[in-house]
Structure 1
Amino acid sequence: MDNQMVNILLVDDREENLLALEAVLTSPNYRLIKAHSGSDALKCILREEFAVIIMDVQMPDMNGFETAKMIRKREKSKDVPIIFVTALSQTNENVMQGYSVGAIDYIIKPFDPTILKCKVNGFVSLFLNQKKVEEQAKIIIARTRELEEANQALKKNEEMLEALVIKRTDELTTINHKLLESEEKYRRLVEESPEAIILTKQSHEKPTFVNQTAVKLLKAASKEEVQNRSLFDYVHPEDHNKVRRIFLENREGHNIYECRILTLNEEILHVEVKSIPFDYQGEPCLHILVRDITELKQSREYMHQTEKLTVVGELAAGIAHEIRNPLTSLKGFTQLLGDKIDSNQDYMDIMITEIERINTIVSELLLLAKPRKLDFKELNIGIVLKKIITLMEAQANLYGVKIKCNDCEEIPSFIIHGEENKLKQVFINLLKNAIEAMQEGGEITISVQRREKDVEIKFIDGGSGIAPEVLSKIGQPFFTTKEKGTGLGLMVCYSIVESHQGKMDIDSKSGEGTTVSILLPLYQTKENEIEYTT
């Protein structure tokens, strides 16, 4: 699928512009299709499937905005990324109109060929990844259908088995002279059952009988080893109350429920339990059928997670017109000067690099120069961290870094009052710094602990660490140890944490890694919280 030919639609009413786009984007993996108007573009979209559309804004007959609106109305093309290319000034009005009709990005003419190619490559990668996800989804659907059919077959067998067992049990209680013969038949049937069968008196917690399937399920060496323990020794502690309540309610009729069990080798299994009350020799008993559904639950969870893999990236649209407009002119003329034979290319490269640096600084300064009122809500800090871990794992893998995450499903419910997107920005920034600091790869550990009325989040990396003289300057604007950094990233992090009435500290030693601690006030906590370390 990586070498699959993909279609890219180029829309412009001027042939010379189409030729320029074609020259920049020519690739053995791209099939470039040209349209000279909005109407031509709509016809092309009816015939072909496109990974990305690059379209001029100003066109006769139907402009780019009108064409984009028509594209978004069609089911086949409603999700295709659209990049507008325009020679007009990028005003807020034009930008908002473009994004309102479904644009993903704006590129101002004259454009940087490298930037255009990188953006198109990114959208093509998203398109190919989406195709992979769709293929995987089809496989999962087919597998799920097979599992459901198998499950139906098991249920039918279960009903037949249940009817047989009850029938045999009634025979044992009513026909004494055939007791030995019936018991032998019953035991053979029960022992060979694909499900674990347990018999117990309602007044006792220890089983009076278990079949061989139950012995295997609980990873025991013998039936005696199972029968010498309480049934609740095999029930997961968090499910004790639920199972005890069902046991008490089980005197009048049968129940079907799911719970977790602990095997003797401490393996956790998900099971479906069917308990049926009956009388044996005048004493109330329970007939319990246990079916292992661990694999089925894992398959369902995997399918559920796969459905969430379709992630749409959003590009920031804030533009500082007063600075970026002249920067565009400076960059363009500098690049033109760089093409002259007698120009000093080293000087030109330095000028281009510094212009890009100014542009980056402006982007980060906007976060501090235009503060807005934060929309605070109740947040589960554990859920926010799990989302960030999932988001950053791919980038960490590229650097050979593993984000350590143990018992992810058991994150305590630490509730704070804050804005989710701002806190995500802090956590992403800190994880990126930790990943980039570990040039040789390694492990990043995240820990969450309660500190009286606060919650403490730690990001611990095994990187090269920070010297004391450098550590004292971390967080100051424009101070950075990165070659292309601005020094504003950590300053923004400090600002966001302070706006949440929190505190951020950095502890580091050269050659021993870095620990960043964030302390945030708890808004609401549940009782009996436990320490959680990912």
Structure 2
Amino acid sequence: MSKYFSLEGRIVATAVLALIVGTAIPWLCIYLGLDTRLSWATGLFIGILIILGLIRQALTPLATTLKSLQGGLLNFRDGDFSISLVPPRDAELRQITNLYNEIGEHLRRERAHIYQRELLLDTVIQSSPQALLLVDQSDHIIYSNSSAKKLLNAGRPIQGLLLQKLLPNSPGEIANAINNWENGLFNYTDTNGTHSMHIGNSTFVLNAQKHRLIVLREMTKELTRAEVEVWKKVIRLISHELNNSLAPISSLAHSGKMLIAKPDKAAALEKVFNIIADRCKHLTEFTQGYASFAKLPAPSCETVNWQALIERIAPLQKFTLKGDLPERPGYFDPVQIEQALLNLIKNSREAGSSHEDIELSISTDGLGQKLVIADRGCGMSEKVLQQALLPFFSTKEQGVGLGLALCREIVDAHGGHIQLLNRSGGGLQITLWLPWAESPK
């Protein structure tokens, strides 16, 4: 029957057949001479049994197929796509099971493809020199690579740990940068020396939960290579400046020698000497600028009144003082720190920030003194941010690239560190941190 009729046709045919049989049986009982009432009751009972049997027989393939589909879908829910269904003889049910099997095969291929991609991505991430941490909204580390384990926990596993329990085992500068959600360059020191690091923070939503991705990149080798390139550049620059001045001086000296013999050429001779003097002055200023960077004296630290420091800087560069000044006086070389602050405020103004948006804030704690200059200028790109502290690196057409480098040298000489961060909403924030050293309590 299933060979010639669809499932719907078989159900209709079964119902019609059951109706015919149920009607015929009472008449058969009457024909056989049985009691009429009993004949109708018996016929009705037998007819119901026959109807139920025929309907069950007609629906058995459907029930079997639905049960198989239910089991297969439960496997799908559990992530098991390996089960295929045996197609029944019924054409319509076979079409449904074939469709299920096609979906299962497609999901198996997709899962295998995703697994291969995840394996490739994990291999790349694990071999990356950048330290990667993925933290969920409860501050649990749900993913990390080998570089992160080595940097933050001496190579031991960190997945599943709370971030706040891990950081005390990490270098203090790294822990502070992670805790403060910083983005930019910073330095830290260990038994192998001083390292330059770049940290980046980003957030995204995964499985309806907010996650934080932390990327730490070792920049020491890149900065060293960049420094070599910078020294090559400065040698070329000095050579160019010397040639531009010495060549005309030599020519003018020869002309002056010839003019000495002609008393009526005194005015021309004076002009020659003036030009020579101007070129010599230019060379002197040029070399003194580099000498001041190369021969920075050791800081002479002393107790500094914060209000007096502000009053000395304010007439030279306009800015806004943010917050109250600390009660405890500072302890550093006032001349060098004043020079660093003036350079930084000047850079903020040249970056397009108005005087009102250039803010200086000062704070202290038991470990040291922090001076922060924030502006609303153009900020820095990631590439510039990584090289901004290098000597002779400048994005200005006429810049020699000594301002920020000199600030870094001053802060390093005090035993502190300098940090550059782009601000949300635009602008740059530069933090100078200075230790108390031997400051009186």
TM-score range, shorter chain: 0.3 to 0.5
Q: Which has the larger radius of gyration?
A: 2
- TM-score w.r.t. length of structure 2: 0.35
Write 1 or 2 for the structure with the bigger share of helix.
Answer: 2
Bigger relative CO (Cα 8 Å, ≥ 6 apart): 2
- TM-score w.r.t. length of structure 1: 0.29
